[in-house]
Each structure stands twice: as C-alpha cells, then as structure tokens.
Structure 1
Amino acid sequence: MSRALVIQLARLGDLLQSLPAITQLHARYPETQFDLLCPSHLSEVGRLFPGIEKVLEWDGAAWQRRALAAQQDLRAEHLVEVAASLTALAPDPYDCAYVLNQHRRALVAGALLARKVKGPFLHGPLGETLTPWAAYVRDVAQRRLGQRVHLADAFCGLCGVSPPGCVVMLDPPAVRLPGDLEPIGKQGAPWIALIVGAGEAERFVPMEVWRRWMTSFLASMPQGRVVLVGTERERAAEMQASLPSSALGRIWDTTGRTSLSQLAAVLARCHRVIGSDTGPLHLAAALGRPVIGLYFARARVHETGPYGFHHVVWQAEGLERKNETWPIDETIAAIHEQGHHAPVGWSVWTSHCDTWGAYYAPVGQSAIPPREREVLWHELEPALS
C-alpha cells in the first residue's frame, strides 16, 4: 500500500479548511494510506478527520530552537538531532507529501519526509516558480483581489483534486467535560456559543459589543443560554463584569478550561456559534453547527467564510477598520429566525455549496453560483474541470 502525507502547519482555521482536500485525496486514491502532519497542539483535531490513518505532531518551538542554534553555530550534533527527529516522525519515507502551506518549514518537511512533493512550488522547497493555484492564492492575499474560490477549495487545487461538491463533517469526540460544564446543551434553548477572542487581536470583537449582545439576547430569550469559548479567560471575565447576576446565571464560561477535543464537544452541543473569522468558528462549522460570522479586519467572506450550508456572515465594508455600528440586534433576529438585515457599513451573506465548492450569496437574492469559480478551475486546473 502506498503512503502519503498531508502537511498543514498553519493555524486551526487553516487545518479545518484542509478537510475538503483530504476528503478528495482519499476518495481519488482509496488504496493509499493518508497521514497528517500538523502542529502538536492541533493534533486532537487532526485525529477527528475522516480518511486520516495517523497524525504526526510537529513541535514548532523545538524546530525553531534548532534553527536558531544552527544559525549561530552549525555543528554536527545539530544535524544528528535533526535526523533523529525526522526519523522519530517518520521512520520510512512517504511516497508523496501534499504541502498546503507556502511556509518554508512545511516545504522542507515535505522534501525530507517524502520521495515526491506536491505543493506550492514546481521545483521543490527551494524553487521560485509557484504552481498556478499557489500563485492565485498569493495574488489574492497580496493584492486584495476579489476572491470567489474559497480557500478550502484552493487547497483542493493545490493537491490536484476537485472540490468535493458536498460538505464533509466531523463527528463530535466522545470526551468527558468538567462536571460543571455537563449541563451545556441539556436544558433551556437555544444555547449560543460566543467565541471570546481570535488568533489575531485585530479580529477581537470589542468586549462592549459582546456585553450588549449578551444582555439583549438573554432579555429576548428567557430560556436562552450563552457559552463563552476560547482561551482568553481574563477577557471573558471582564466581559461579564458589569452584567447583572440574573444574566450570569445563564452564562457558562469555558474559556481556558477545555482541550481542543473538549471544545469540539462543547460546540457540538450548542444550537449556534457566533464569532469572528477564527479557528473555533470553523471547527463549529465542521461539526455541523450553523454559525454566524462577524467578518472585519481583512477577513473576507468569499475567501474564508464558514464552509457548508446555512451559515450567515455579516461582512464589514471597511475591512481595515472595525465599524462603530455592529449587527447586534440583527444577529439576534437571525437566531429568532426573523430575517437577516445589515446595519450601515455591513452586508450580510449566506453560505452554499455546489460542484465547484463553497460560495456565499447576498441575503435576499437568488443563490446564483458565481461564474468566476468555474472559469478559474478551467484556467488553473483544466484536467480537473
């Protein structure tokens, strides 16, 4: 049996965006064993991926220490340590590595762990010529072009496979939650998860916005409950500081208390998840939860909107700044299923999926698939289109 390694060394959101590509690789090569190399702290999520036999853990901090030591004074023992680390990761080389990052560490890992590499560059890790899909993704990121091919589908292109044409979901992990968190999702409804922070500070929804949101939501839904998720415990505590005690009795604060597997279990129990463009939002979407996204600060719905059906994203028109007006009442109305409206400075979109992958259409308009996606697939990957 041939063996292949998928390499994704970026953040949680990028790892989850890799799921369609992994799904399609497994479907195209059913006799191949697919393993995954991802950052150590994300390995719990990687083990939830269907089609992945084994997860290899990349200790980014250790590799950075080795690189710094080698830069200062390259010695033979450094090379011995590197060789030993690689052997521990993969004693036998893989037949092929699919590299989904343009980071040099991912490219080098692919070259060292596999006989053949398919990824961003045409001529190995030291090459300069990008593949067509890698060049497209780079141009979108650098020149802020209008992106209509979703990043997850572009990952499919990088691997030489077409989008799955359907939504692949993760099964919630069977893990035990801390005892005081066990009631989540069991009494009252709806349970709404709020993602407190984000991977980048510029994507933090202001705390005052979250305070106003919780106050309005709990007042409008007597049986509603709020679950705070993320790692930012101090921020979550400050968000709750000025709320009345009656509201606090309906808020479950899980921040900083759950592993990634436990976070997945918590999100799977919630009726909706709301937050900015960040890893837990994409984890919720992958678990089949309908999500509400607040996209601003360079986050763009067509590029990284939650993958799947029935997701709603409010997109700020000024991407480089946070709007003074936030869709607080509008998102609550959406939970009430009272329609989707956008305040001044925002537009609102809903998610869809077809043969060419995920796409978003404006609320209130026909969900007509954008023609640009099909054109790009014919241009960049004619053998698949």
Structure 2
Amino acid sequence: MKRVLVVQLARFGDLLQTRRLLASLAARDMSSAAPELHLLVDASLLPLAGLAYPGVIAHGLAAHGPGNAAGADDPSALARVLGNRATFAELSALRFDRVYVLNHSGLARAVSTLFDPDIVRGHLLTHGQPVKDPWPALAFRFMATRRETGLNLMDFWAAFAGRMAPPDTVNPRATPKGGGIGVVLAGREARRSLPPQVLAPLLTAAFSRVAAKRIVLLGTADQAPAARALCRLLRPAVAEHVLDLSGKTDMGGLFREIAALDELFTPDTGAMHLAAHLGTPVTAFFLSSAWCHETGPYGHGHTVWQALTPCAPCLETAACEHGLVCRDPFADARLARLVAGSAKTAPPPGLVGYHTGTDALGAVCEPFAGEDQTAPARRAFRAFVAEHLGVGHGLGADPGLGARYYQEPDWMLDRGPLAGRGFVETL
C-alpha cells in the first residue's frame, strides 16, 4: 500500500479547502488499494482534522503558536520545540511514497527537507534554495491579474495530484437543515467583515425569509462585545430569538451547530468553509481582499455578495487608501431587500450577487444580480487553465493567455533532481 503525506500548515479554512486534494489522492489509482493518507497540520487543528477527515492519519506541529515573549526559558516554548522534534522524528521514520507541501512558508519548506526531494511536490528546499514546482509557480503568476482570473484555492491544491476528483463530488449540495440562521460575527481581518450596524438590517431581512425562527451567533470570546452590539441593533421581535454562542463552542459543538442550520451568514472565514463541507447553505459577504472566485464556498447552493469596487480585490497586507468604500454597498437598503428574497430589486452599484456551482475545472461563481464586466475574461481564463490541466479539452482556450502566463524556463531549463516533474503530477 502506498503512503502519502499532505503538509497543510495554514489555518482553519485552508485545512477544509484541502478536501478535493485528499479525495483525489484517495481515488487516484483504482487498480490497487487506496493509499494510506497522512496529514500534517498545526497542532491546534488536530480536532478539526479528525472530524473533517476521519479516514486520514493526522499529525500535529506547533506552526501558529504564541510568540516566545518570555524568552528561551519559557516552558511553553520549550514544549513546542520538543513536540515539533518528536513529530519530525515520527514523520522521518515513515516511508512515504509521495509528500505534498502545500504552503510556501519557511516552516513548510523546512519540513520538506525531512524527505528525499524526488518524492516531494509543491514547495520545497533543495540545496538550501526555495523551489516551487511548475504548477504552483504558474498559478502564482495568475495573482498579477486577480480581477480577471478565478481559480478556487481548493482546485489549485487538488491539481497537485494531477488526476482530480470530480468537483461536484467534493462537498454535498447545500440544503436547509431546519435550525435557523447562523451568524459568524467576524473573520481574522476586521476590514473583511461587516460591522454590527451594517449586519443587523441584513440579518433582519433574512430572518423574515427563513421559516425556522432561531438565530445563532458564532465567534470567539473576543467577539462577544460585537454579539451584544448586534443584539442591541435588532428589533425586540427578532432579538428574542437570538442564541449567543460566541466563545462557548468547541470544535465538535461548532460542527453540530453549523450542520443543523438553514443558512450561515458569514464573511470569508473558516466557518464558511465548514458550512460548505457539511452541506449547509452559505450567504457570504466578500469585500476588501476577499475574492469569491478564489476562496468562495465550494459546491452547489451557496450565495456570495461580492464588492466590485474599482479597487477590489486589494491586498490585505497593504493599508486601505480608499476609506473602505467596498463596505458601503452592504449598507444600502437595496441589499437588505435582496437578502429578504426580492426578485425585482437591483443590487446597489459596486456589488454583484453570485450563485456557486461547478464546471469541468472546479468551483465557479455565476452572477445572478448586478453586472460583472470581467466575467468574459474569467471564462476565457478558466478555459485556459482547464485545458492546461487536461480537464477541459475543446473549450476553446485563448492561446494569448499561454503567451501571458508561460515562461521559457518552464520547459527549457534542466532543473537537476527536479527535472521531469512537469506541470501536472504523474505517478
């Protein structure tokens, strides 16, 4: 039996967006037994890995622990170092046939040095130098034209495996479960979330549409003040149906709550990806650096309201120079009417509504409200990527996109021990 390791050292949502890759690896060789799948994650996400991927062997690493403010003698820092050494020894002792390193962080590349570089795919260190395989190197070039491109992160990682699992089999089709509306109060980046005064009218509108009169607030303990502020802004007839669970759920509890909902209101968060993973309908609000074509909810049956102001999508690492104008359309009363179910209202300028689905390449967001002037360019881009990956022959890919994205070193240089990898994994 083959043994495969996937190194995913990013956050909550990224772990859930690894699902298509894991499904692809599990099903890639139908003539023999499925490989034994291992997953290396931040130690804090081991409970999530166990719930989301019960058939996968998960290993933990202290990748996102608190800083060592107390210095080298801090016992917690020493425990993390010793724990990581034990994990490195455990992984080194296992004989993996293939290792996929999904993150381009220094720690992930350091993990790659535990293994023969010939079996590592993705991001690695070789002869002390950071290296990207051809596929992630190509995909990173797409970031220069984010407005016109659209490749979901789940599909980007799945392509590391070469033969990808059919996209419509990855997450279940979203259907209401009867448990009311869940509200994710905020994400890690405050400017990508809606403040209570903007969220309250939208939640009130949704409450009038959903039959189950129950609202569940989800978030960390730090978001409890935002929960209280939101409740104060709701009409008493709505507020009396609110259950505030901010800071009161463990991972198992979050799974149970989201799995039971009719709908999840959320910015671009890990909880959003959990809802898609569980087949719970999502209504997502994307603004600032969040771009639904890259990290939107995966599968059929979700709705995304995307800010399409001229500066969107921006870089979350850069300061906003436009006064968060991308937030303004969400405060427009027209959006509340749309959220309530109106079929006659046009969205405010700078906002487009999308329904999610799949095509030959993977996840796709199709506009149903508002105007997306870059939609034709995005369709052409997806045809190009689909043909490149061998899943979209005959879609009429524009050869000019090859001239834009391909570079001569992609096929001209001998890369020593990395030569022969190609753009798409083959085994």
Q: Which amino acid in 2 is paired with 1:27?
A: A
2-structure distance, mates of 1:380, 1:192: 38
In the TM superposition, residue 58 of structure 1 has moved relative to its aligned partner by 1.6
SS of the residue 1:256 aligns to: coil
1-structure distance, mates of 2:299, 2:283: 12
In the TM superposition, residue 83 of structure 1 has moved relative to its aligned partner by 4.0
- Once the two structures are overlaid, the 10-residue window that deviates more, 291-300 or 319-328, is 319-328
Aligned to 1:297: 288
Q: How does 1:346-361 map to 2 (within 5 A)?
A: 346-361=351-366
Aligned to 1:137: 139
- Is 1:373 the counterpart of 2:382? The answer is yes
Indicate if the aligned counterparts of 2:186 and 2:194 stay in contact, CA closer than 8 A: yes
Q: How does 1:1-385 map to 2 (within 5 A)?
A: 1-29=1-29, 30-50=33-53, 52-61=55-64, 83-88=85-90, 91-112=93-114, 116-121=118-123, 124=126, 126-141=128-143, 144=146, 146-169=148-171, 191-218=180-207, 224-231=213-220, 232-318=223-309, 319=312, 320=314, 321=324, 322-326=326-330, 330=335, 333-334=338-339, 336=341, 338=343, 341-363=346-368, 370-379=379-388
SS of the residue 1:10 aligns to: coil
Describe the superposition over 1:70-108 as per-residue Cα deviations: whole angstroms up to 9, x where unpaired. 9xxxxxxx9988644422566434332111111121122
In the TM superposition, residue 343 of structure 1 has moved relative to its aligned partner by 1.7
**Alpha-carbon RMSD:** 3.6
- Once the two structures are overlaid, the 10-residue window that deviates more, 333-342 or 310-319, is 333-342
Q: Which amino acid in 2 is paired with 1:48?
A: L
Indicate if the aligned counterparts of 2:302 and 2:355 stay in contact, CA closer than 8 A: yes
2-structure distance, mates of 1:125, 1:272: 50
2-structure distance, mates of 1:116, 1:46: 27
Instruction: Give 5+ residue unaligned stretches, structure 1.
Output: 71-77, 172-184
2-structure distance, mates of 1:293, 1:248: 21
- Judging changes above 3 Å, is the alpha-carbon distance between structure 1 residues 155 and 81 closer, same or farther for their aligned structure 2 residues? closer
How many aligned positions are there? 362
Taking structure 2 as the reference length, the TM-score comes to 0.73
2-structure distance, mates of 1:202, 1:358: 25
Q: Which amino acid in 2 is paired with 1:131?
A: D
Instruction: Give 5+ residue unaligned stretches, structure 2.
Output: 74-79, 315-323, 391-422
Q: Which amino acid in 2 is paired with 1:133?
A: W
Taking structure 1 as the reference length, the TM-score comes to 0.80
2-structure distance, mates of 1:45, 1:167: 21
Describe the superposition over 1:122-174 as per-residue Cα deviations: whole angstroms up to 9, x where unpaired. 76484444223212332334553532222111111223333523232389xxx
